[in-house]
Amino acid sequence: MQQQEAISRVTTGMRVVDSAGVEVGTVDLVQRGDPNAVTVQAPAGIDPGGSLNELIESAAVEEPDVPADLAARLLRSGYLKVSTELARTGAVYVLADRITAVTDDGVRLDVPAEALPEEE
């Protein structure tokens, strides 16, 4: 299924099931991908020698709340934020290319829940 077509059919509140049929949780946020997304612009006054993670934190980017390299991939491809009791932080992120089906019953993924990155 095409990434953008699949993610465009997802709505908040949908049930998410992993590749093993385990219910992961429900969709909390749907973000379509932007292949041209610029994930970080250095704000004025920030030390250019600082780490990318420090730069992300200083820019107060709220979503996605993951390490910078993963955030860039999520923003470019599109992603779901899923509320779940399976993660200690209460939420995981799903790259759009991990969606195998979107039906009336919910969203099916091609990876197990343990493989999904947790919100920080």
* DSSP 3-state of 115: helix
Domain containing residue 100: 3-35+63-115
Averaged pLDDT, 97-101: 95
| Closest among 14, 35, 18 to 78, alpha carbons compared | 35
In a domain, 46, yes or no: no
Weakest mean pLDDT among 23-27, 44-48, 87-91, 95-99: 44-48
Query: How far is residue 49's CA from residue 33's CA, in Å, rounded to a whole number?
Result: 29
Task: Give the tens place of pLDDT for each residue, 37-52.
Answer: 765 544 444 455 555 5
* DSSP summary character for residue 63: S
Query: How far is residue 94's CA from residue 87's CA, in Å, rounded to a whole number?
Result: 13
In total, how many domains does the chain have? 1
In a domain, 81, yes or no: yes
Task: Give the tens place of pLDDT for each residue, 24-82.
Answer: 999 999 999 988 876 554 444 445 555 556 555 545 457 899 999 999 999 999 999 99
| Closest among 88, 73, 96 to 27, alpha carbons compared | 96
CATH of the domain at 23: 2.30.30.240
In a 13 Å sphere around the CA of 64, the CA atoms on its Cβ side amount to 32
In a domain, 52, yes or no: no
In a domain, 80, yes or no: yes
Structure tokens at 52: 């990318």
